[in-house]
Amino acid sequence: MPHYRIGQAAELLGVSVDTMRRWADAGRVKTTRRRDRQRVVDGADLARFAIELAETGGEDTATMQSARNRLPGIVTRVVKDDIVAKVELQAGPHRIVSLMTREAADELDLEPGVLATAVVKSTNVIIEAHRP
């Protein structure tokens, strides 16, 4: 059976390494130590835990996100086609536009007036200079 390092397990579950370590320390995920003292998770245990997380239906939502930029707001517009949905959210003075699958928008019941949070995580930030 394969074993996964904490970082690999975190990536597979879509959480931060810190979250994975907290779950291990709390006994939610069983880990063992390899000879090099690195903690690993048994593949079968990780698979069971992934299913448990999915079945909780958001019980761990707050810990599932590692993004720091969370902008609460209100949905102002939703445009759907067969595959894609464009969702607009007003978060204070900021207009956030998100493209997602129609299926995701339907599952979240997104429509104008719904309170939602934009979670922004980016590996690239581009800054443009304002020139006269």
CA angle 87, 117, 114 (to 5 degrees): 60
Counting every residue written for the chain, the total comes to: 132
pLDDT tens, residue by residue, 43-85: 888 888 888 887 775 444 444 445 567 788 888 999 999 999 9
Give the domain ranges of the chain.
3-63, 69-120
Mean pLDDT for all residues in the chain: 82
Angle at which helices 43-55 and 6-13 cross, to 10°: 30
pLDDT tens, residue by residue, 1-18: 688 999 888 888 878 889
Pick the more confident residue, 105 or 118.
105
3 state SS of 115 = strand
Angle at which helices 6-13 and 17-25 cross, to 10°: 110
Number of other CB atoms surrounding residue 40 within 10 Å: 17
pTM (global) more than 0.75: no
What does the pLDDT read at residue 58? 45
Find out if CATH 3.30.70.20 is the number for domain 69-120: no
**What class does CATH assign to 3-63?**
mainly alpha
pLDDT tens, residue by residue, 115-125: 888 888 776 65
Would you say the CATH fold of 69-120 matches that of 3-63?
A: no
What does the pLDDT read at residue 45? 87
